[in-house]
A = this chain, B = another copy of it.
């Protein structure tokens, strides 16, 4: 009886790991922000400080809107929502948020995505190990 219980425990762990592996999908964000007039370049400079050291960040592109002189687009791909959420606690990111807040005039709702693939995704830490 005890052996049978052990087998069920092992099976349960195997199933749980399989489900976890399947659920490990990427996490994406697409957002548009509007800055106070004249502050766009300074705000972009802030956003780009420290983005190279965010664990789990596969893509983080900051772009000017080609038609609205005060609008910025940020498109992000993370290896998980947890990595994104954790990035908000990084000292460099917290400093950028704090300095940048007065430059922001508005934010769109944006979109949350599940990135599937493509070109230009930095290797995740799991892949590079």
List A residues at the B interface (Cβ < 8 Å): 26, 28, 30, 32, 44, 48, 51-52, 54, 57-67, 73, 75, 77, 111-122
Contacts and interface: CB of A to CB of B under 8 A. Distances in A.
A61 B121 contact: yes
Nearest to A81: B66
Could you tell me the dominant secondary structure of chain A's interface residues? Answer: strand
Nearest to A112: B66
B115 A62 contact: yes
A57 B119 CA distance: 8
A100 to B, nearest CB: 15
A62 B122 contact: no
A66 to B, nearest CB: 4
B63 A116 contact: yes
Given A48-B118, A75-B75, 20 more contacts: A28-B66, A30-B73, A44-B116, A48-B116, A48-B117, A57-B119, A57-B120, A59-B120, A60-B120, A61-B77, A61-B121, A63-B116, A64-B113, A65-B111, A65-B114, A66-B111, A66-B113, A66-B114, A73-B111, A120-B122
